[in-house]
Amino acid sequence: MRIVVLGAGSWGSTFAALLAENGHIVTLVGRDRDQAREIAETGRNPRYLRQVDLAQVSACIYADAPVSDAELVVVAVPSRAFREVVTKVPDAMPVLSLVKGLDPASGDRLSKVVGPRPVAVLSGPNHAEEIAERLPAAAVIASEDEELAVRMQEAVMSPRFRVYVNTDLVGVELCAAAKNVIALAAGVADGIGIGANAKAAVMTRGLAEMSRLGAAAGARTETFAGLAGMGDLIVTCWSHWSRNRRAGELIACGYSPREAEREIATAVEGLSTAPVLRDFGRRLGIELPITDAVCELLAGGSVREAAVAMMERRPTAEYEVEAAAP
């Protein structure tokens, strides 16, 4: 298959190498001409994960991307750049999105921006840093078109990267977006040193919050208990590779969101997603107390107030499962 990967960050580069290993003809597309030249010359991305072997991957800038000749376009850019990049893809071209966020312009799921092109989404506990080290991982590919999802599964699957098909596109996209916001909260828990017991409680209530939102949006509950939900949430809240967790930790230690992103030196999706997710929930009439607390913190609220809000409010799902605390 001829595949174009748009976005030459750490995940785009690692994913391009995975695809090339599977025998596909892969072009990795970035904004920076020097970077593209260096990938072509050295087989390594000079800026991200130099251990990833790109010798079998072509590289170019967006203006030169061979999109019309491709059979599949993979998108691996920050969510705020997603719309701009995707709307230039030819109309009938299948798109596989690796992006975990929401569209800031419409406030909606990213796959809605892709239409009328056929679209699938890949998500799961997939820190690029580990996959670059050839450690095994598993993911789901979701699409409303199951046949398309199965075709993409066949293209992506490998002994070190296991892929399951899920037809719940809405659920997988909402998991991918919301887990970064919960990871900011988990990072705050780390930053204030509240302990693993309380952090696990925040994560549990975070997944309940995500599931409630998903149910209201028409997603399936099982998706939230699967790799794209619980699996990705765990790794994003706990791994030292997690940029969203780290951003929460830095903010709890007094950094502004902007300073935290500068320190981490790459896009932190949860920072852009949090207010969009809050509005998404409001439109559906769903309370998202942890997301609300994160938004207040990002808007300049105090860490102490956010922590109290995260710990003290009791969401509806907890009432449904367990009787009220006195």
Catalytic positions are 179
Tell whether residue 32 is a contact of its own copies (CB under 8 A).
no
Interface mask (CB under 8 A) for its own copies, residues 154-183, using x and -? x--x----xxxxxx----------------
3-state secondary structure of 321: helix
Of the candidates 234, 264, 267, 303, which one interacts with its own copies according to CB under 8 A? 234
Residue 325: DSSP 8-state:
P
Name residues whose C-beta falls within 8 Å of residue 74's C-beta, 6 or more positions apart in sequence.
3, 4, 5, 6, 12, 15, 16, 19, 95, 96, 97, 98
103/232 with CB nearer its own copies? 232
Of the candidates 34, 41, 64, 222, which one interacts with its own copies according to CB under 8 A? 222
Q: For the packed helices 243-252 and 269-284, what is the interaxial angle rounded to 10 degrees?
A: 90
40/234 with CB nearer its own copies? 234
103/249 with CB nearer its own copies? 249
265/324 with CB nearer its own copies? 324
3-state secondary structure of 93: coil
Name residues whose C-beta falls within 8 Å of residue 326's C-beta, 6 or more positions apart in sequence.
none
How many angstroms separate the CA atoms of 301 and 243, rounded?
A: 21
Q: Provide the minimum distance between the beta carbon of 111 and its own copies in the complex, in angstroms, as a whole number.
A: 18
Interface mask (CB under 8 A) for its own copies, residues 178-207, using x and -? ----------------xxxxxxxx-xx--x
4/181 with CB nearer its own copies? 181
Listed residue (255, 250, 23, 226) closest to 140, CA to CA: 226
Of the candidates 21, 38, 130, 287, which one interacts with its own copies according to CB under 8 A? 130
Instruction: Report CA torsion sign: 215, 217, 223, 225.
Output: negative
81/200 with CB nearer its own copies? 200
Of the candidates 235, 247, 250, 276, which one interacts with its own copies according to CB under 8 A? 235
Q: Provide the minimum distance between the beta carbon of 161 and its own copies in the complex, in angstroms, as a whole number.
A: 10
The region of 17-25, 50-58, 151-159, 263-271 touching its own copies under the rule CB under 8 A is: 151-159
Tell whether residue 255 is a contact of its own copies (CB under 8 A).
no
Tell whether residue 111 is a contact of its own copies (CB under 8 A).
no
How many angstroms separate the CA atoms of 322 and 302, rounded?
A: 30
Q: Provide the minimum distance between the beta carbon of 158 and its own copies in the complex, in angstroms, as a whole number.
A: 11
How many angstroms separate the CA atoms of 170 and 173, rounded?
A: 5
How many angstroms separate the CA atoms of 96 and 173, rounded?
A: 12
Evaluate whether 205 touches 150 at the Cβ level (below 8 Å). Answer: no
Partnered with residue 137 across adjacent β-strands are 161
Tell whether residue 303 is a contact of its own copies (CB under 8 A).
no
Give the pair of three-digit tokens for residue 209: 């919050």
Tell whether residue 305 is a contact of its own copies (CB under 8 A).
no
Q: How many residues does the chain have?
A: 326
How many angstroms separate the CA atoms of 78 and 82, rounded?
A: 6
3-state secondary structure of 140: strand
Q: Provide the minimum distance between the beta carbon of 213 and its own copies in the complex, in angstroms, as a whole number.
A: 14
Enumerate binding residues for its own copies (CB under 8 A): 124-127, 130-131, 133, 135-138, 140, 146, 149-150, 153-154, 157, 162-167, 194-201, 203-204, 207-208, 211, 220, 222-223, 225-227, 230-232, 234-235, 238-239, 241, 311, 317-318, 320-326
